[in-house]
């Protein structure tokens, strides 16, 4: 079986008769087996995927026009996205054994177009982390170097595509969780505008920041998946009613793009020198291609991380209060009364990072500190939002590195949560401002050879031009 990089290639093979859906699924199932050591999948839906493939083959044979737009699309789901009658745990002991009663709207829409869901994949517990080390299933390994993290929290969604175990995967991005692992693993990671894809059926972390995103080998597949998943939803009042554009058409801008980058970002002391060089080389290529790329000042870059971690933990402490040992998942067998049911179930069920964040969030929301932290962070968010809007009055895109460093070794940052948080410096702005952002593979680091990504952001709901531009300026990952 050849290595497919896009759904178009898969469909060509299906149409020419060289490949059937069943043989395709068997191929990916073999890849999943061959990459067990990377700890990507926490559950494989083997029988179901094969049954669906056989059903599709039969339907296609009868009438090739009867299959959906995602005929041949194999998908892995991050373990925070609900799929009816399947377990979903957010990689947490507190949800072990919990089966979802419904499917996320995004999943429903993929299924309606005949996507095949292969399984659910690992992540940081409740999507809190940047390395996929905070999981009750153990860490996932980066296929580029199994001694290193794949990034996070959608780390296994990235490795699933990187290691060719599926064509695409869904992740969630609250502060960079799709884009940073994509950069660490040499794949395309796309986070749409806040509200572009319904959050119904996505386990909530920071509800004002959360968004489902995709990990793919090509921008064209990201665009197609967006076109199918986007749009209003009666189950999520924050899902936008803005028209779903023909993203998959990837219609170019038709004029040179105006691109801004922040001096503060490319001169940032935390930015690795090799990544800085590669980013400048990319800027040079864009200029050579006729685009206008200008350095601008963005004085809030160093405020993005503190604002994000105050707001995300505040929202998390509220969202995670529902895991009380009564309604979902784990209930401590040692509990004697209501108080000890809450206390023990949560003590046993949550991992250390999740507890840290619940405490942080409860602290910043507590009456004595609310104004000093939560209100202040909201004000900073507003400034960041306004400044971001102002940039897009003049520019089409903002260009930033996706991460200040390449994939680190296991354990390197896990003892120092602040060091881990600071590694999100280039990704959280897009979530705070609610704008779409994409991480694209830029090549291998000149010294350590590890994958490096670059990030492009656009104004809210300008996915069509962002994806078209990204498509024009990236090579598919081979």
Residues noted as catalytic: 78, 153, 177
- 185 or 312, CB closer to ligand GLN? 312
Provide the minimum distance between the beta carbon of 149 and ligand GLN in the complex, in angstroms, as a whole number: 12
| Stretch in the footprint of ligand GLN (CB under 6 A) among 69-77, 168-176, 239-247, 374-382 | 168-176
Token pair listed for 210:
């959360």
How many CB atoms sit inside 10 A of residue 118's CB? 28
92 binds ligand GLN per the rule CB under 6 A: no
- The upper half-sphere exposure of residue 244, i.e. CA atoms within 13 Å in the direction of its Cβ, equals 17
108 binds ligand GLN per the rule CB under 6 A: no
| Stretch in the footprint of ligand GLN (CB under 6 A) among 128-136, 223-231, 343-351, 441-449 | 128-136
- Residue number with the shortest CB distance to ligand GLN? 177
129 binds ligand GLN per the rule CB under 6 A: yes
Provide the minimum distance between the beta carbon of 295 and ligand GLN in the complex, in angstroms, as a whole number: 27
56 binds ligand GLN per the rule CB under 6 A: no
319 binds ligand GLN per the rule CB under 6 A: no
- 129 or 441, CB closer to ligand GLN? 129
- Which of 72, 119, 139, 175 touches ligand GLN (CB under 6 A)? 175
Per-residue x/- marks for ligand GLN, 278-307, CB under 6 A? Answer: ------------------------------
128 binds ligand GLN per the rule CB under 6 A: yes
Provide the minimum distance between the beta carbon of 41 and ligand GLN in the complex, in angstroms, as a whole number: 19
Facing residues of 216 across strands?
Answer: 168, 188
Per-residue x/- marks for ligand GLN, 416-445, CB under 6 A? Answer: --------x---------------------
Provide the minimum distance between the beta carbon of 237 and ligand GLN in the complex, in angstroms, as a whole number: 22
| Stretch in the footprint of ligand GLN (CB under 6 A) among 50-58, 122-130, 139-147, 450-458 | 122-130
Facing residues of 212 across strands?
Answer: 172
188-191 vs 437-444, strand pairing mode = antiparallel
Provide the minimum distance between the beta carbon of 53 and ligand GLN in the complex, in angstroms, as a whole number: 31
119 binds ligand GLN per the rule CB under 6 A: no
Provide the minimum distance between the beta carbon of 209 and ligand GLN in the complex, in angstroms, as a whole number: 8
173 binds ligand GLN per the rule CB under 6 A: yes
Residues whose CB is less than 8 angstroms from the CB of residue 459 and which lie 6 or more positions away in sequence, other chains included: 389, 392, 396, 435
| Stretch in the footprint of ligand GLN (CB under 6 A) among 95-103, 104-112, 124-132, 212-220 | 124-132
Binding residues for ligand GLN, total number by CB under 6 A? 14
140 binds ligand GLN per the rule CB under 6 A: no
- Which of 74, 157, 169, 174 touches ligand GLN (CB under 6 A)? 174
176 binds ligand GLN per the rule CB under 6 A: yes
142 binds ligand GLN per the rule CB under 6 A: no
* Secondary structure of the chain in HEC code, one letter for each residue: CCCCCCHHHHHHHHHHCCCCHHHHHHHHHHHHHHCHHHCCEEEECHHHHHHHHHHHHHHHHHCHHHCCCCCCCEEEEECCECCCCCECCCCCHHHCCCECCCCCHHHHHHHHCCCEEEEEECCCHHHCCCCCCCCCCCCCCECCECCECCCCCCHHHHHHHHCCCCCEEEEECCCCCCHHHHHHHCCEEEECCCCCECCCCECCCCCCCCCEEEEECCHHHHHHHHHHHECCECCECCCCCCCCCCHHHCCCCCCCCEEEEEHHHHCCCCCCHHHHHHHHHHHHHHHHCCCEEEEECCCCHHHHHHHHHHHHHHHHHHHHHHCCCCCCCCCCCCCCCHHHHHHHHHHHHCCHHHHHHHHHHHHHHCCCCHHHHHHHHHHHHHHHHHHHHHHHHHCCEEEEECCCCCCCECCCCCCCHHHHHHCCCCCHHHHHHCCCEEEEEEEECCCCCCEEEEEEEECCCCHHHHHHHHHHCCCCCC
211 binds ligand GLN per the rule CB under 6 A: no
Tokens 């899902």 identify what position? Answer: 239
| Stretch in the footprint of ligand GLN (CB under 6 A) among 20-28, 170-178, 406-414, 442-450 | 170-178
- 31 or 179, CB closer to ligand GLN? 179
404 binds ligand GLN per the rule CB under 6 A: no
- Which of 89, 92, 103, 153 touches ligand GLN (CB under 6 A)? 153
| Residue pair 218/189 in contact by the 8 Å Cβ criterion | no
Binding site for ligand GLN (CB under 6 A): 127-130, 153, 172-177, 205, 312, 424
């Amino acid at each position: 079986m050849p290595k497919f990089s896009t759904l178009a290639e898969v469909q060509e093979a299906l149409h020419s008769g060289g490949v059937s859906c069943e043989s395709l699924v068997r191929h990916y199932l073999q890849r999943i087996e061959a990459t067990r050591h990377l700890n990507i999948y926490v559950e494989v839906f083997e029988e179901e995927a094969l049954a669906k493939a056989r059903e599709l083959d039969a339907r296609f044979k009868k009438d090739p026009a009867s299959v959906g737009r995602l005929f041949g699309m194999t998908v892995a789901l991050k373990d925070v996205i609900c799929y009816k009658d399947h377990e979903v745990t957010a990689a947490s002991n507190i949800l072990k054994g919990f089966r979802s009663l419904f499917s996320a709207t995004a999943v429903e829409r993929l299924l309606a177009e005949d996507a095949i869901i292969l399984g659910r994949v690992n992540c940081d517990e409740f999507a809190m982390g940047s390395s996929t080390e905070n999981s009750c299933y153990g860490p996932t390994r980066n296929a580029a170097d199994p001694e290193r993290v794949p990034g996070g929290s959608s780390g296994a969604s990235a490795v699933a595509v990187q290691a060719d175990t599926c064509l695409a995967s869904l992740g969630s991005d609250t502060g960079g969780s799709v884009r940073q692992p994509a950069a660490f693993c040499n794949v395309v990671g796309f986070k749409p505008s806040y509200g572009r894809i319904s959050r119904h059926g996505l386990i909530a972390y920071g509800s004002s920041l959360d968004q489902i995103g995709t990990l793919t080998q090509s921008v064209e597949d990201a665009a197609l998946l967006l076109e199918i998943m986007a749009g209003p939803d009666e189950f999520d009042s924050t899902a936008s009613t803005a028209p779903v554009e023909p993203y998959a058409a990837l219609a170019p801008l038709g004029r040179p793009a105006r691109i801004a980058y922040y001096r503060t970002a490319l001169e940032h002391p935390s930015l690795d020198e090799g990544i800085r060089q590669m980013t400048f080389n990319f800027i040079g290529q864009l200029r050579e291609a006729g685009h206008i790329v200008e350095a601008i000042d963005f004085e809030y870059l160093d405020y993005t991380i503190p604002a994000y971690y105050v707001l995300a933990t505040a929202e998390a402490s509220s969202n995670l209060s529902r895991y009380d040992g009564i309604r979902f998942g784990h209930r401590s067998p040692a509990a004697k009364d209501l108080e000890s049911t809450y206390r023990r179930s949560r003590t046993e069920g949550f991992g250390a990072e999740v507890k840290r964040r619940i405490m942080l969030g409860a602290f910043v929301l507590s009456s004595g500190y609310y104004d000093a932290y939560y209100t202040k962070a909201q004000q900073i968010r507003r400034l960041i939002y306004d400044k971001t809007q102002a940039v897009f009055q003049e520019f089409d895109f903002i260009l930033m590195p996706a991460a200040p460093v390449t994939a680190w070794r296991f354990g390197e940052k896990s003892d120092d949560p602040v060091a881990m948080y600071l590694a999100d410096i280039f990704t959280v702005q897009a979530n705070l401002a609610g704008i779409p952002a994409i991480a694209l593979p830029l090549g291998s680091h000149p010294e350590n050879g590890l994958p490096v990504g670059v990030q492009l952001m656009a104004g809210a709901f300008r996915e069509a031009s962002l994806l078209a531009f990204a498509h024009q300026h990236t090579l598919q990952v081979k």
